[in-house]
Structures are given as structure tokens and as C-alpha cells.
A and B are shown apart, each in its own frame.
Chain A
């Protein structure tokens, strides 16, 4: 149970992809998926804004935010085109910058951007994409 779940949002807050590996307790179960997406995306925006306000540099934006609580760690990577990759893992996992970058640069590129059947700003249904995401996750799990 090292990797919990993954969200991919577009710049308007629509959830393009969600996948869950471990979530025994879901406080939002009854509120529905949409509420869950809204909460996460809303928090990412606020977090991003707050982080920027607190930064000692004026142009400090490399698109990566991560925070850790007692029970989980959130990794967030934003592309210049405003796609947000949000991955929740166990707090024991170190920063997954490279993995999220790989998810965008290789998997998203191959299965979404270069896929004529897929509008890059619509829900991702490609089985190849899902399989590749699972492969990254099992890779992360195995390294531990």
C-alpha cells in the first residue's frame, strides 16, 4: 500500500483520469467522485498560490509541490500547459518528481497526445495508458 491514488486534471479543473490502488477510508465516499475531484483540485490551486506568495524568489515556479502528513504524502507536478498530476502515496516515499515527469513526458505523450482517438483534454480511457500507469506504480512499490 505504498501508492494510494492518482488524479490528472486539466487547467480548468476537470479530472481527466483517476485511479485508485489503496484507499480503505474515503471520507468523500458518499459525496461522490466529483466532490472528491473538486476538493483535490481546489486545494492544489490554493496550495500553489500560497506557495508562490511565501516564496523568497519572484520567479520560483518549477511546477512541483509535495507535502507530507502522518498518513500520506501528496506529490503534485504541473506542466507548462496546465496539466496537473497529483499522486498520493505513503509518507515513506521520497519525492516522485522523476516518476511524475516520466508519466507526462513518456506515457501521457504516447498514449494521449499522440493518440488520434483521444482528445488530450478529455477523459482518458486508453487501456494502454492505464497499464503503463500501473507499471510505474508497481515499479515504485518494488523499489521499496
Chain B
């Protein structure tokens, strides 16, 4: 690809982000057909994102050489800025940390997934960008942060921009599996 962003990791191919944006709508439409309740639809979309996230994090770590993040604030900000930039093509902004530094909000100034999308009125409960929530959750879980992530503002529903509320639940310890516990 010749249209590579300056500073992007060398082997990164921006076509993936565009392809996702273009095909995402029909994928969501299919899920809407397959599942009835909006709750279930949102869950399915999130779960899909989660599985994507658990893989993306390895790709990110493989391609980006930078010092290891040492705490949650640093990790999340890296994920929101560089991670989203790498896979979605836009960089998120993190703000609104609480004093315990386990809660914050990620703002997306532009959401490529929603660019050509209109929600029909009967789909008011659909969280269209839930896939991003899932991806963030999956990626963070692989580096030991159990979080929940929810769409807090949605540009599709008239908010000025899309944002996600992130809550840290647990810092997981690197643990060994069952078979190691007997000794």
C-alpha cells in the first residue's frame, strides 16, 4: 500500500480497517436478523469484538516496539491512542480519570464504523459500536486488566461524538494453570 500513514508500523496495512468499516454494517444487520432481543444482539457484537481484541493485542505487541506499559493508566492510554489508531484508523482520547485511576472515558472524535450508518427508529437499543468495546476488553484482558467497557455516548443517537466508559475491575496475576498447583 502506498497510502501508508507516516509513522505507522512498517507492515501495517490500512486496508483492514477500511474493509471492516465497509462490511461491518451488513454483519450487524445479519446479527440483528439472527437474534431477537436488543440485549442479545449487543452481547453478540461485544463478544465478537472480544475475540478480535484477544488477537489484535498480539499483533499490536508484535509490531510496535516500545517500552512496556507499567500501569493501568499507561496501558489504557496506549491502547486508546495507538491501538485504536492502528486497527480502526482513528486515535481515541482518554480523559476523565477518577481519583482511584480505575475509571475513565475514551472519546472517539470520528468513528469510521458509523460514517455511513443510520439507525432505523426501532433499533434505538442497538449499540452499534459495541464491537469496539469488546475489542478493548479483549485486548486489555490479555495484558491482565479485567475491565468492562460500555458505549456512553453514541454519535448515531445524536451525541456530539462517540465515547466509551471504561471501568477496571481487577488486575489479574500471571497465574499458572491447574496442573501446576499440586506441587
* Chain B residues within 8 Å of A12, by CB: 175-177
Contact (Cβ within 8 A) B68 A109: no
Q: Which residue of B lies closest to A42 (CB)?
A: B180
Would you give the shortest CB distance from A49 to chain B, in whole angstroms? 10
* Chain A residues within 8 Å of B176, by CB: 12-13, 41, 45
Q: Identify which of B26-34, B52-60, B119-127, B160-168 touches chain A.
A: B52-60
Contacts known (A12-B177, A13-B176, A38-B179); A80 close to B59, Cβ less than 8 A: no
Residue of B54, B61, B142, B179 near A13 (CB, 8 A) is B179
Binary flags per residue of A41-76, CB closer than 8 Å to B gives 1, else 0: 110010000000000000101110000000000000
* Chain A residues within 8 Å of B179, by CB: 13, 34, 38
Contact (Cβ within 8 A) A81 B61: yes
Count of A-B contacts with CB under 8 A? 60
Contact (Cβ within 8 A) A81 B143: yes
Q: Identify which of A20-28, A100-108, A122-130, A131-139 touches chain B.
A: A100-108
Contact (Cβ within 8 A) A105 B180: no
B174 within 8 A of A: yes
Contacts known (A62-B68, A81-B143); A109 close to B180, Cβ less than 8 A: no
- Alpha-carbon distance A14/B67, docked complex (angstroms): 26
Contact (Cβ within 8 A) B62 A80: no
Residue of B58, B175, B177, B183 near A109 (CB, 8 A) is B58
Binary flags per residue of A75-98, CB closer than 8 Å to B gives 1, else 0: 000011111000000000000000
Q: Which of B104-132 contact A (CB under 8 A)?
A: none
7 smallest A-B Cβ distances: which pairs?
Answer: A105-B62, A12-B177, A13-B176, A109-B62, A113-B58, A81-B142, A80-B61
A-B residue pairs in contact (CB < 8 Å), sample of 27: A12-B175, A12-B176, A13-B177, A14-B177, A38-B179, A38-B180, A41-B180, A61-B68, A62-B67, A62-B68, A63-B68, A79-B58, A79-B61, A80-B61, A81-B61, A81-B142, A83-B58, A105-B62, A105-B63, A108-B62, A109-B58, A109-B59, A113-B59, A113-B62, A114-B55, A114-B59, A120-B54
Known: A81-B143, A104-B61. 16 other contacts (CB 8 A): A12-B175, A13-B177, A13-B179, A38-B179, A41-B176, A59-B70, A62-B68, A81-B57, A82-B142, A82-B174, A104-B62, A108-B62, A109-B58, A109-B62, A114-B59, A120-B54
